[in-house]
Amino acid sequence: MIFSGKKNEDSTIVELLASSLRKDIAFGTLLPDQKLKLNELRSRYGGSNHSMRETLRILSSEGLVEGAAQRGFRVTSATEDDLRDIQLVRQEIESIALSRAIALGDVAWEGQVVAAHHALQKAEAAVATTPDDLTALEWDDACRAFATALIAACDSPRLIDLQRKFFDQSRRFRLALLREGKLNWAARKARQKALLDAVLDRDETTALALLKEEIGADLKA
């Protein structure tokens, strides 16, 4: 059990529960379409019925869990159609956001992107060499940080929120490619460096093309 049910049922507990369930959905511990029963979840993760219901409500709003009247909750499906749709939405949202960031971003934003790229390269080298759960989680976090940094200067909290939501929905597909050994690390390194260079050069056309290619390579149907 991760938490004791005796702890206060405040927002911090719900946030911790949600983080744990997100991770287990991403890593396939909780499978697509798996039913999520409150008693079983409480036994595994802790919390109370109230805190677990609130956690499932949050994950439902993020598209990771689905709820139906009288039928309870289940993990959202992960079909090829789901994958293609997530890829399409990510490419459209992140292209709009990156275009705005390139137009509006300052030197501090450029530094943020450079730092996130550097951290991603270290994480990719580590997980390519030793693909265990720890390096996979650190790599996944670094992928998120780089994607977030690219659009951080877009001056639209709603675009950033949408990017985060659909990035989270894409995690299990990318981690499945990692587990199956289907990621081309050399191609990823070259593409990410080219994307960084295009962003720093404010070459919007090249940057957007590389961004769509990067998202497509992360999410292969």
Please tell me whether residues 96 and 176 are part of one structural domain.
yes
pLDDT at residue 217, rounded to an integer: 86
Please check whether residue 5 lies inside any domain of the structure: no
Please tell me whether residues 59 and 111 are part of one structural domain.
no
Please tell me whether residues 46 and 121 are part of one structural domain.
no
| Residue 132 tokens, joined | 């265990």
Q: Do the Cβ atoms of 65 and 52 come closer than 8 Å?
A: no
C-alpha 14/C-alpha 26 separation (Å) is 18
C-alpha 160/C-alpha 154 separation (Å) is 8
pLDDT at residue 12, rounded to an integer: 87
CATH number for the domain harbouring residue 40:
1.10.10.10
Q: Which of 149, 151, 147, 153 is nearest to 106 (CA)?
A: 153
pLDDT (tens digit per residue) in 185-203: 999 999 999 999 999 999 9
Please tell me whether residues 137 and 208 are part of one structural domain.
yes
Among 45-54, 60-69, 100-109, 160-169, which stretch is predicted with the lowest mean pLDDT? Answer: 60-69
Please tell me whether residues 98 and 135 are part of one structural domain.
yes
Domain that holds residue 23: 11-75
Please check whether residue 22 lies inside any domain of the structure: yes
Complete DSSP assignment for 152-205: TTS--HHHHHHHHHHHHHHHHHHHHHHHTT---HHHHHHHHHHHHHHHHTT-HH
Q: Do the Cβ atoms of 218 and 91 come closer than 8 Å?
A: no
pLDDT at residue 8, rounded to an integer: 52
Q: Do the Cβ atoms of 148 and 163 come closer than 8 Å?
A: yes
pLDDT at residue 221, rounded to an integer: 46
Please check whether residue 190 lies inside any domain of the structure: yes
Beta-bridge mates of residue 72: 68
Please tell me whether residues 39 and 111 are part of one structural domain.
no
Please tell me whether residues 175 and 116 are part of one structural domain.
yes
Residue 120 has pLDDT above 70, yes or no: yes
Count of CB atoms situated within 10 Å of the CB of 103:
12
Q: Quick one: pLDDT band at residue 70, thresholds 50, 70, 90?
A: low
Please tell me whether residues 154 and 170 are part of one structural domain.
yes
Please check whether residue 130 lies inside any domain of the structure: yes
pLDDT at residue 69, rounded to an integer: 62
Please tell me whether residues 86 and 118 are part of one structural domain.
yes
Please check whether residue 3 lies inside any domain of the structure: no
Q: Which of 16, 21, 3 is nearest to 62 (CA)?
A: 21
Please name the residue that has the structure tokens 């499932």. Answer: 56
Q: Quick one: pLDDT band at residue 64, thresholds 50, 70, 90?
A: very high
Please check whether residue 1 lies inside any domain of the structure: no
- Mean pLDDT score, 50-60: 93
Residue 5 has pLDDT above 60, yes or no: no
Please check whether residue 203 lies inside any domain of the structure: yes
